[in-house]
Amino acid sequence: MDLNYSAEEVAFRDEVRAWLAGNLPRDLKEKVDRYEHLSKEDLLRWHRILAGKSWVAPAWPKEWGGTGWNVVQRYIFEEELGYVGAPPLIPFGLAMCAPVLLRFGTEAQKKRFLPRIYQGEDFWCQGYSEPGSGSDLASLKTRAVRENGRYIVNGQKTWTTLAHYADWIFCLVRTDPTSEKRQEGISFLLVDMKTPGVSVRPLILMDGAHEVNEVFFDDVSVPAENLVHEEGKGWTVAKYLLGYERMNTGRIGESKRQLARLKEFSSGKLNDVRFRDRLSRVEVELTALEITNLRFLDRMRRSGQPPGADVSMLKIKGTEIQQALAELMMQAAGEAGSDEFAAALGRRYLSMRKTTIYAGSNEIQRNIIAKQTLGL
């Protein structure tokens, strides 16, 4: 048993860390450090810097721009991105649409979309949730009817993150409302957001931020060539994405950075034993999660098997820790008075409540573990 990275892995981490330290623009880092809103331009600027270094999509096959790193290197890279305090890489194109195209797309689809995703030329969003279909996603109603080589789409998506920035949306749509198994009537469709009939309405969350939206489809005409995989196989595509290697789900690097900052600005409060002990317990949970994460990663590296329901465990613990840290930070900053920083941390506390709800609520994650791991 050896809990440490190998000498090569440490060297790799140091290389990544040094490069990030030298190439993350100071103004972007300061914005992130102050918990300020990041504009589309901020996000794309960092995306393009990484693309320029050929590091924006490490997991992709080499022919499409992947780095050829193994799972441990990819994990280290993602953790370092979190740890340095870089703007987030928006996953909808890089880590969601692209893996789907690589697995199920036609050559033409890959050639058309992948280079633009890589370069940050197309901004993607995800059209899954609907007003009546959240956790029970397979009940979705957005209709796509095939007519003369095109799909006519009608319906509504909701909670669509950054749809107001997006050039494209990948959607789950119902192509066959009569199929006996409702999952079999679903298809995976790529829609240009500029198509007539697509409209976006902001949904403002309790922190005041505009991050998510409603997206309406009103007789939107989509060429049939934008169908991914076969008609009726959309659920297979969606499930593939759920099982995709997402070993960074626990967001250890990001939480380590928040913990370090919390300790930094709450030093006065550490004399309060009650506060200190709560902080220590979160630190212990984070340490445990990091080792758990590495254990899963090590197992995955040896077995070559996808992580399966392990990812659900990382999601549950990772988000609980993120929320606990955000809450402690709000409380610690509140002591200092009502300055801008305290206000930003207050908003952050509000915003972080979403983490246990999005990307499959933690209750859904528990269902997955109960079924897949425990056989219940």
Q: Residues 269, 317, 347, 348: which binds other proteins (CB under 8 A)?
A: 317
Region near other proteins per CB under 8 A, out of 43-51, 249-257, 274-282, 333-341: 274-282
Could you say whether residue 357 binds other proteins (CB under 8 A)?
Answer: no
Cβ atoms of residues 262 and 328 within 8 Å: yes
Contacts of 220 (CB under 8 A, 6+ apart): 152, 153, 154, 191, 195, 196, 197, 198
Instruction: Specify the residue, 4 or 148, whose C-beta has the smaller distance to other proteins.
Output: 4
Q: Residues 238, 289, 342, 344: which binds other proteins (CB under 8 A)?
A: 289
C-alpha span between 37 and 319 (Å, rounded): 20
Contacts of 130 (CB under 8 A, 6+ apart): 140, 141, 142, 155, 156, 157, 158
Could you say whether residue 280 binds other proteins (CB under 8 A)?
Answer: yes
- Rounded to a whole number of angstroms, the minimum distance from the CB of residue 69 to other proteins is 15
Region near other proteins per CB under 8 A, out of 54-62, 155-163, 208-216, 270-278: 270-278
Q: What is the rounded end-to-end Cα distance, in angstroms, of the chain? A: 32
Instruction: Specify the residue, 149 or 375, whose C-beta has the smaller distance to other proteins.
Output: 375
Instruction: Specify the residue, 184 or 320, whose C-beta has the smaller distance to other proteins.
Output: 320
Total residues binding other proteins (CB under 8 A): 38
- Rounded to a whole number of angstroms, the minimum distance from the CB of residue 276 to other proteins is 5
Could you say whether residue 337 binds other proteins (CB under 8 A)?
Answer: no
Region near other proteins per CB under 8 A, out of 17-25, 38-46, 88-96, 281-289: 281-289
Could you say whether residue 316 binds other proteins (CB under 8 A)?
Answer: yes
Q: How many residues does the chain have?
A: 376
Q: Residues 53, 291, 306, 338: which binds other proteins (CB under 8 A)?
A: 291
Contacts of 213 (CB under 8 A, 6+ apart): 158, 160, 161, 162, 163, 164, 200, 201, 202, 203
Cβ atoms of residues 183 and 236 within 8 Å: no
Cβ atoms of residues 184 and 176 within 8 Å: yes
Cβ atoms of residues 224 and 151 within 8 Å: yes
Instruction: Specify the residue, 42 or 285, whose C-beta has the smaller distance to other proteins.
Output: 285
- Rounded to a whole number of angstroms, the minimum distance from the CB of residue 306 to other proteins is 18
Nearest to 84 by CA among 16, 36, 5, 37: 16
Instruction: Specify the residue, 212 or 289, whose C-beta has the smaller distance to other proteins.
Output: 289
Could you say whether residue 299 binds other proteins (CB under 8 A)?
Answer: yes
Q: Residues 40, 201, 210, 276: which binds other proteins (CB under 8 A)?
A: 276
User: What residues from 202 to 261 belong to the interface with other proteins (CB under 8 A)?
Assistant: none
Which structure tokens are listed for 292?
């758990």
Residues labelled catalytic: 245
C-alpha span between 141 and 124 (Å, rounded): 22
Instruction: Specify the residue, 18 or 284, whose C-beta has the smaller distance to other proteins.
Output: 284
Cβ atoms of residues 123 and 165 within 8 Å: yes
Could you say whether residue 5 binds other proteins (CB under 8 A)?
Answer: yes
CA atoms within 13 A on the CB side of 111: 3
Could you say whether residue 283 binds other proteins (CB under 8 A)?
Answer: yes
Could you say whether residue 184 binds other proteins (CB under 8 A)?
Answer: no
Burial class from Cβ neighbours inside 10 Å (0-12, 13-18, 19+) for residue 75 reads buried
C-alpha span between 143 and 156 (Å, rounded): 9
Interface map 55-74 toward other proteins (x if CB under 8 A):
-----------------x--
C-alpha span between 105 and 97 (Å, rounded): 10
Which structure tokens are listed for 8?
């090569």
Q: Residues 22, 196, 337, 375: which binds other proteins (CB under 8 A)?
A: 375
Could you say whether residue 298 binds other proteins (CB under 8 A)?
Answer: yes
- Rounded to a whole number of angstroms, the minimum distance from the CB of residue 365 to other proteins is 8
Residue ranges in contact with other proteins by CB under 8 A: 1-6, 9, 72, 270, 276-277, 280-281, 283-285, 287-289, 291-292, 294-295, 298-299, 302, 313, 316-317, 363, 366-367, 369-370, 373-376
